[in-house]
Structures are given as structure tokens and as C-alpha cells.
Amino acid sequence: MTDTAPASGTSIVKVAVTAAAAAAIEWYDFFIYGTAAALVFPAQFFPSDLPPFVAQIAAFSTFAVGFIARPVGGVLFGHLGDRVGRKRALTGALLVMGLATTGIGLLPSYAHVGAMAPLALVVLRFAQGLAVGGQWGGAALMAIESAPAGRRGFYGSFVQIGVPAGLVLANVVFLAVSTGVSPQDFQAWGWRLPFLLSVVLVAIGAYIQFRLEEPEAFEKAAVAPGARRELPLARVLRGHLPDVLLAGGAFVANNTCFYVAITYVVAYGTTTLGIAKETLLTAVMLASALMAPVLIACGGISDRYGRRGIFMVGAVLAGLWAFALFPLLETGSPPLIIMAITGEMFFLSLMYGPQAALFAELFPVEVRYSGASLGYQIGSVVGGGLAPIIATALFARFQSTLSIAVYLGAMCAVSFLSVWMLRLRARPSPA
């Protein structure tokens, strides 16, 4: 089954902008957890007599739970997306995320309910992971399958800018709250406000459900003879498993480097280097803002020159920059801190910009939601979910950030080789 060039200019713009907005708010919800895990959760949800290092590892472990849940969400929502429609699956993922994030904002602390606090936190973080595991595939395919064949990289990149947009929004809200209330009030109740704002996802989910149409490619696949004869996941695992695994490998570098830059760097900078958290969050925010236009440009370039080449260049440059990231950070100079994080984000954009179109084009439309989501989320577990924990453990073992740079460089090598192998397996893209 092939997909065709679908929508008019007006409709594809509306779909792409809506998908980007949905992705931005969804990622906002996911990222405020990472910021809170670095700055707040060790004191809020774990015993006060734990050593700071142990409490930080515990908080980052609950952060990792969301990544463990993401492949499960990719399977669950991928099945729904391939069977009942992209927009219905996307709407469900947005609602789950909104409810879970709001719930975190309402949780009592360890001081009030004891061990129930971290347990409830883990459950809600798992729900966040389920939701984001389903969101990316739905938002990406709504945009890509509604785009003309020669513009899929460009319009697919609109969904990719949801990541930096959500990160900027998360940091803006955290900075506004942390500077607007006293440090004591921020620890007591101010940190909850960013989580409670996620109720806006309900409105976006309703808009997508009632105002957008399914992509024409999916509608044609859904009515094709034998379309429902086999479970999408079973077909993906039987016929496309190497592509799923290589897609996961391709995403490892981007996810690992990204979460070290936005989560571990904040924790390391504040606790070890004594850098003000406002300085680090501002640097992350500026670097993320730069990512948005670079992602769109890279998506557009991939339409003209191919997805894999620019992806592989990004893997090489991000791996090399990892060895400059921490020395620049350790100077304590705000301009050099901004340069450190901005450089890494810029090179990651070369990979992340064309990624949505690259992954979508690996799979036929009938199983595309399942295949693309599963590959993406496998990479997220191996990469981002464990990255802050591994980085923390490496520094504790070697007392040097060079070991972390080697780790990041190795992940970039994995992604480079994965995309190189995808190039060898490449088949003509669906029309």
C-alpha cells in the first residue's frame, strides 16, 4: 500500500501547526518532570535523611520510568493509530498526559504520606511515558501523511519543534515561578503550578478530535482488502524488525545527548559547580529556542538532499562537541555555558529535523504508526531514560566529566552506524 500527496496548502499548514502545538504542550508536560527531578523531587518525595547523591539518583530513577513506559505507549497507541485512526490515538495520548501531569501537581509530599508519595509519583510518571510514547507517532503522521510527497521532511519537522518549544515553555514557566515566589514557597507549593497548567491539553485534544480530518493515506489503507487481517504489531515484528531496531539505534544519540544537556547538566551545574539554576535554565532555554528554526531548515534540506546524509553528519558533529560541552560548562562563564549547550543542541538538530520523515518512510502506511513509534521509543529507553543516571554514576566513579563525554561519543557512533545500515537497506520511499 502506498500513500499519495494529500492535502491542500491551507489544510496541511493547519494540520502541521496543530500537530506542533499538541507536541509542544505534550513535551512541556514531559520536560517539567525532568526539571523538577533535578531541582525539587529529591526533597519532596524522598526521605530527608537520604544523602543528596542517593536522593538525586532516586529522583532520576523515577524520571527514567517514563522512558521505560514509552515503548509500551508506542505499542498501545500505535495499534490504535493503525486500526482506528491517527487523530483518535493522538487525542487519547494528549488526554492521558494532561490528566497524569495534573495529578503530579496535586500529589502530597513524602513528609505527609510517606512511601505512598514516591509510589504515586512513579505511577503517574509511567502514565506520562505511555502518553508521550503514543503522541509522537500520531502528531508526526498527521503532518507527514497530510503533506505532499516532496515536502514531508519540511512538514514533519513542525512536529519535531514541539520538543524545543515544550522545553522552552517548561523552563520559562519554572523560571517565572521560581523568581516570582520565595525559595521556601517554591519548594513548598510553587513547583506545583507548572504541572497544573497542563489542563490545556484537554482543549487541544478536543480540537484535534473534532476539527481535523484523518490523513487520506490512512483512510485508503483502512478500507483496503485484508487491511485488518493481521495485528499491526505482529506485522511490524515479522516483516520490519531490523528497521525498528535500526531506527531505535538511530535515535539513541539524539536522545542521550539531549537529556544529558537539559537534565544532567542542570543537576551537575547547580550541585557540583555551584552555578545558579537560573543561569543554566536560561542557557537551556536559549539553546532550545535556536533549535526550532534549525529543525525546520534541516527537515527542508532533507527533502532536497536526502534524510540519511544530514543525519549522519549530525551524529559525527554532536559526538565531537560532547568533548567540548563540559569544559565550557566548567568555566562558569554564562556566555560559554550558553555556547556549550547551544552547540550540542544545534548539532542534534541535524539528526532530529529529518527524523520524523525518515522513520515514517521506513514502514508501509498500514503499520506506520506502530513501526515508527516503536523504533522511536526503543531509542528513547536506551538513550534518554538512562542517560542522566549513567552520567551521574560515571562522574561518581571517575570524578571526571571526560567519562561522560566518551559515553556521549559512543552513543553518537551507534546512531551513525545505525543510519549507515539503514542506508544499505533503503528501499524506494512510498509515493
Q: What is the pLDDT of residues 109-132, one digit of tens each?
A: 888 888 888 888 889 989 988 998
Per-residue model confidence (pLDDT) at position 88? 87
Q: What value does the mean pLDDT take over residues 53-64?
A: 78
Per-residue model confidence (pLDDT) at position 429? 45
Query: What are the boundaries of each domain within the chain?
Result: 9-214+237-423
Confidence band for 177, pLDDT divided at 50, 70 and 90: confident
For residues 30 and 85, the model is more confident at: 85
Does the structure show a pLDDT above 80 at 399? yes
Confidence band for 189, pLDDT divided at 50, 70 and 90: confident
Tell me the average pLDDT of the chain. Answer: 85
Per-residue model confidence (pLDDT) at position 226? 54
What CATH fold (topology level) applies to the domain 9-214+237-423? Growth Hormone; Chain: A; (1.20.1250)
Confidence band for 387, pLDDT divided at 50, 70 and 90: confident
Q: Is the Cα torsion angle 134, 137, 139, 145 positive or negative in sign? A: negative
Q: What are the pLDDT digits (tens) for 264-312?
A: 898 899 889 999 888 888 898 899 899 999 999 999 999 999 999 999 9
Q: What value does the mean pLDDT take over residues 42-68?
A: 78
Q: What value does the mean pLDDT take over residues 48-77?
A: 81
Residue % of the chain over a pLDDT of 70: 93
Q: What are the pLDDT digits (tens) for 315-362?
A: 999 999 999 999 999 999 999 999 999 999 999 999 999 999 999 999
